[in-house]
A = this chain, B = another copy of it.
Amino acid sequence: MTKRFQLVPCLAALICSGALLAPAPARAEEGMWTFDNPPLKQLQDKYHFTPSKEWLDHVRLSSVRLNDGGSGSFVSPHGLLLTNHHVARGQLQKNSTPEHDYLRDGFYAATPEQEMKSPDLEINVLVSMENVTSRVAAALRGARTPEAQFAARRAAMAGIERESQQKTGLRSDVVTLYQGGEYWLYRYKKYTDVRLVFAPEQQIAFFGGDSDNFTYPRYDLDMALFRVYEDGKPIDSKDYLKWNPKGAANNELVFVSGHPGSTARSDTVAQLEYVRDTALPNRIKILGSRIAVLQKYSAQGAEQALQAGSQIFNLANSYKAFEGEAKGLRDNSIMDKKRQEEADFKAKVVANPEWKAAYGSAWDAIAEAEKKMTGRAREVFYRALDSQLLSLASTIVDYVAEIKKPDGERLDGYHDSQLDSLKYRLFSPAPIYSGMDIARLAGSLELSLSELGPGDPYLRAVLNGRAPQQAAADLVNGTKMADPAVRRKLVDGGQAAVDASTDPMIVVARKLDPQRRELIKWTEDNVESVTQRAGEQLGRARFAVYGKSTYPDATFTLRLSYGQMKGYPMNGTEAPYKTTFYGLYDRAYSFDLASPFNLPPRYLEVRSRLDLATPLDCVTTNDIVGGNSGSPVINRNAELVGLIFDGNIESLVGDFVYDGETNRSVAVHTAAMAEALRKIYNAQRLVNELMGQ
């Protein structure tokens, strides 16, 4: 399965995203292109195809972003939305009970009335894009220092967002592209009434489990169908992708329209070294610890296992992804290539006196900032404690303080334009499991204690003399944060209510607040402001040197990638461009049906009715990363031929570099979805709707 976007809780955005600098010129099939700048020349040269404006608008408006960290698309005129099971997984779990285990058994709404509301899923459709680079640039005039520019930039972006939201009522985000080479205002139509229509059993969606995750050949039906409602009725999704049950042929041109989360392809070598030597090792250590904590919790019983399942699933996914990234960065050939690219770029910049003066200092500035960051990295990583309730309390403490400031001066996440989505999550009625939260908090306190030592003031504020387990139990058992009404009341009561609260989690969050703010401020002043300015310099330098011939690093905004259905060299032989249902049964019986290669009962019962040669999964050369999960794969007629759900093991280094020889995205084939809905799930209602019948 594909990496999910930002699964590691972050204190400051830069820790999870290495995406700061401008990319090298794009190679064949490479690229996550913005819809305002599709790779027309490459498409025409290689495939003799030029998408029209109507084609691009239609595909964009058929594409959907999910706040659970994935992508999707409309696949019928009545708001039917296709995405991955693993993107829907959180909602499935939140709706599950010991009596109704939708993860184990799947879900199918045989009638419209049975379609099941998701507790806190928000989806966004990108309805307009506007280049606001000159407005942001104008705001920076007069600001001299990186810190002053940082503040001015933040204020300008928040202002543009607020103005847009007030004028249009649409979710409005100013997006930084090309590391600040461009700024764009993206407006989204937002939907929050999203109902589950169909999901298969987790065991077939994620057949092969963590073992097969990020690999290919693959045999997963990683799909889910939602329906988007507004005012209690399914929306009219005028723009939707027509279903092509035949899929695409070997070597056929295909596109992926979705939301790659973040890449760091134009990071400087200094930044990559920070990621390789500091960020990734710490992330991997933290994830390993969290997984171990949750596995121990799961072992306590079936209910605990159900509660922790999604978390473990996501963490294990990130763990394997980070390990793949780390392996990629330890590969000297990749780093040597990066060094070479940087040397070439730098040589071109310094050869031109004007460019040299404007941009030449950027590399050293970034290297210096990364060095400073390394000095406080342990605090950044190990002060991020793992507790849903503490996280909610901290958000409330921040909220009431930030909301009093002028919009432009607030911390990121608390701008006017972001408040609706923030509150939607903050007041989510989704259950919070106190036993699990105790385990998580205690586990992360223990790890942090061993890393930062007992003298760390942040940890002392939480522990207050208690052992981690005791502190976690006291806090979780004493707090009322699990109740959305309590959270709402505190937010409504503002600073006074929060100051007066004796809820132990709020009390701790208040104590931690100055330290958290100090670290964020320090990071902004010493690292983010510097790398933002240097990033802008390098972004402009790249435009100057190479022209706008390329795509910006991924930012969890809508992108179009092109490629082909295509196998690749693997394991000494060839991986085929598709797999079949035969392969599903082969892999299951090859492991004697042992977990994670067991099959849901239905698959043993209906086997003889299936056409086993039906394509199941497939691979394409499209350039995707985490966040693309659930993206549609479409042909040149904008017909749906597949559903992205993963990248292969060779794609894990894709955050830093794209290798068209072996980097593959993995998709569910439309033929498999139709065969399964029809013959395994008897979901004829959906088949008819998908086929337009």
Contact = CB atoms under 8 A, between A and B. Distances in A.
A131 B587 CA distance: 49
Contacts of A571: 215, 570-571, 649
A217 B574 contact: no
Interface stretch (A230-238, A589-597, A620-628): A589-597
Nearest to A212: B573
A220 to B, nearest CB: 12
Q: Which of A215, A580, A589, A649 has the most CB of B within 10 A?
A: A589
19 contacts: A211-B573, A212-B573, A214-B572, A250-B592, A571-B649, A572-B649, A576-B591, A576-B597, A580-B586, A580-B589, A582-B585, A582-B586, A582-B612, A583-B587, A583-B590, A585-B612, A585-B613, A586-B586, A589-B613
Given A570-B571, A571-B649, A573-B215, A589 B582 contact: yes
Given A570-B571, A571-B215, A572-B649, A590 B579 contact: yes
Contacts of A320: 572
A208 interface: yes
Scoring A250, A324, A572, A576 by chain B CB atoms within 10 A of each residue's CB, the highest score goes to: A572
Contact-residue bracket for chain A: 20 to 34
Given A211-B573, A571-B571, A576-B591, 19 more contacts: A211-B574, A212-B573, A213-B573, A214-B572, A215-B572, A215-B573, A217-B590, A250-B592, A570-B571, A572-B648, A577-B590, A578-B590, A579-B590, A580-B586, A582-B582, A582-B585, A582-B612, A583-B587, A585-B613
A211 B576 CA distance: 11
Contacts of A573: 208, 211-213, 215, 649
A204 to B, nearest CB: 16
Given A570-B571, A571-B215, A573-B208, A583 B586 contact: yes
Contacts of A579: 586, 590
Contacts of A250: 592
A590 B580 contact: yes
**Shortest beta-carbon contacts, A-B, top 5:** A572-B649, A583-B586, A576-B590, A582-B586, A215-B572
Interface string A237-276: 0000000000000100000000000000000000000000
Contacts of A324: 572
Contacts of A586: 579-580, 582-583, 586
Nearest to A219: B586
Nearest to A581: B586
A57 B589 CA distance: 37
